[in-house]
Amino acid sequence: MRAYNFSAGPAVLPLPVLEQARDELIEWRGGASVMEVSHRGRDFMAVAERAEADLRDLLAIPSNYRVLFMQGGATIQFAAVPMNLAAAGAPADYVHTGHWSERAIKEGRRFVSAAVIADEAESAYTTVPDRAQVQPRRGSAYLHYTPNETIGGVEFPYVPEAGDVPLVADMSSTILSRPIEVSRFGLIYAGAQKNIGPSGIAVVIVRDDLARGARPGTPSVLDYRAVAEAGSMLNTPPTFAWYFAGLVFQWLKREGGVAEMARRNRAKAAALYAAIEASSFYSSPVAKHCRSWMNVPFRLAKPDLEQTFLAEADDAGLTHLAGHRSVGGMRASLYNAMPIEGVHALVGFMADFERRYG
Ligand SMILES: *Cc1c(COP(=O)(O)O)cnc(C)c1O
């Protein structure tokens, strides 16, 4: 019996995709597993090409952007971005909205002169800065921000205006959850394990002029130009993760693409936030205008009941609802593969729990 898995990442994957991967696990094209064949062979090359084509299609990625499949998760992009987009010690701007942007800033400081142009510390990272506050400095190498903070559950309701400064977005926990206008970004990156597939691979969507060669000293596997020229196969890629991501892209297309995902994700988030709002037993720490569709943190009016809540939820088949260890409370992640039925089950459980303990 599969539970409704609200894990923040690695996270729920679409059941039809898991079933397809299971059916193909041992004998895939030509009688071997996809994990057992060369990444440079015809069969895997076809997988790689189709995955890129489908992702381009899903996000309407313009032709002047390269799509890279890289290793090292989103975390290595915290370093790869400055190494590719900025000279050593050059100015680069960051927006600080919580845990993941802080990690990007800390790593960025090893490579650039990073300025935090907006910091939501005063709100304890429960909101995002106003549009007008997010202004990059003239001559900055890039402006980095985190459209969705996976731990804090705050999400930008707008795309910052960066003018001539390339806008860089860590979309790890929001990519493919809705349509985006890729041309507004210089670079988008995302670790796979939230909304794309298994961990072990990351997607980078980078405008041509930002992939013209990294600074001296950059390892070739982190140099966007070198990776692009090698078709993301400078070395052996994580073939299973890439294959699986490709199956997820096909599933997304069959389901109606990112516009349909947006419709479903909006409805799922609305149902859960409505339940939280309707009760004085549950509360959301996040400002209303920037509540995430993907990661919904919430608290109990009686925090000493948290462990009971989590244990009973688990027994009811609603799993991985504990908030990040740094913040506590609860968090329900509602990625594309979480069906609305899972949210209804959670809302029903919450109402029942409140009746019994409220
Ligand atoms: C999970 C996450 C990361 C880290 O991803 P790794 O693949 O573990 O490096 C970075 N940024 C955001 C927004 C995330 O959600």
Q: What local confidence, expressed as pLDDT, does residue 179 receive?
A: 98
Kindly give the distance from the C-alpha atom of residue 205 to the centroid of ligand 1, in angstroms, as a whole number: 16
Return the residue whose CA atom lies nearest to atom 8 of ligand 1: 73
What domains appear along the chain, each with residue ranges and CATH number? 15-254 (3.40.640.10), 257-357 (3.90.1150.10)
pLDDT number for residue 327: 85
Cα(69) to ligand 1 centroid in Å equals 15
Whole-number pLDDT of residue 234 = 97
Q: Which residues of 292-304 are buried (b: 16+ CB within 10 A; e: fewer)?
A: bbbbbbbbbeeee
Q: 233-287, pLDDT tens digit by residue?
A: 999 999 999 999 999 999 999 999 999 999 999 999 999 999 999 999 999 999 9
Q: Report d(CA 47, CA 70) in Å as an integer.
A: 15
pTM listed for this prediction? 0.98
**Ligand 1 within 6 A of 9 CB?**
yes
Structure confidence at residue 253 (pLDDT)? 98
- Say what the pLDDT of residue 30 is: 83
159: CB partners within 8 A, 6+ apart:
147, 167, 180, 181, 184, 185
| pLDDT reported for residue 325 | 86
Terminal alpha carbon distance of the chain: 30
Is 100 a known active-site residue? yes
Q: How far apart are CA 142 and CA 85, in angstroms?
A: 7
Q: Is 172 in the pocket of ligand 1 (CB under 6 A)?
A: yes
* Choice among 28, 54, 93, 194 that is catalytic: 194
Q: Is 251 a catalytic residue?
A: no
φ/ψ region of 57 (left if φ > 0, alpha if ψ in -120 to 50, else beta) reads alpha
Cis peptide before 10 (omega within 30 of 0): yes
Residue 74 Cβ contacting ligand 1 at under 6 Å:
yes
Residue 70 has a pLDDT of 98
Quick: pLDDT tens for 30-65. Answer: 899 999 999 999 999 999 999 999 999 999 999 999
343 has a pLDDT exceeding 90: yes
Tokens representing residue 319 in the block: 């799993």
Q: What is the pLDDT of residue 317?
A: 98
Q: Can you give the pLDDT at residue 177? A: 98
Would the CB of 191 count as within 6 Å of ligand 1?
A: yes
pLDDT digits (tens, 9 = 90+) for 316-331: 999 999 998 888 899 9
Whether ligand 1 lies within 6 angstroms of the CB of 292 is answered as: no
Known catalytic residue at 57: no
Label residue 1 by pLDDT band (50, 70, 90): confident
The β-bridge partners of 206 are 66, 187
Tell me if 295 CB under 6 Å of ligand 1: no
Q: How far is the CA of 191 from the centre of ligand 1 (A)?
A: 6
Residue 326: its pLDDT value, please? 84
Per-residue pLDDT tens for 105-156? 999 999 999 999 999 999 999 999 999 999 999 999 999 999 999 999 999 9
Nearest alpha carbon, ligand 1 atom 13: 172
Average pLDDT over every residue of 56-79? 98
Mean of the per-residue pLDDT values of the chain = 97
Question: In which band, very low, low, confident or very high, does the pLDDT at 99 lie, cut at 50, 70 and 90?
Answer: very high
Name which residue leads in pLDDT, 30 or 209. Answer: 209
What residues contact residue 164 under an 8 Å CB cut-off, 6+ apart? none
| Residue 146 CB–ligand 1 contact under 6 Å | yes
Alpha helices in the chain (DSSP H): 15-24, 42-59, 75-85, 99-108, 224-229, 239-254, 257-277, 306-315, 340-357
Q: How far is the CA of 140 from the centre of ligand 1 (A)?
A: 24
Amino acid 33: pLDDT:
96
The residues near 161 (Cβ < 8 Å, ≥ 6 apart) are 131, 134
pLDDT number for residue 45: 98
Q: Could you tell me if 102 and 148 are in contact, meaning their C-beta atoms sit under 8 angstroms apart? A: no
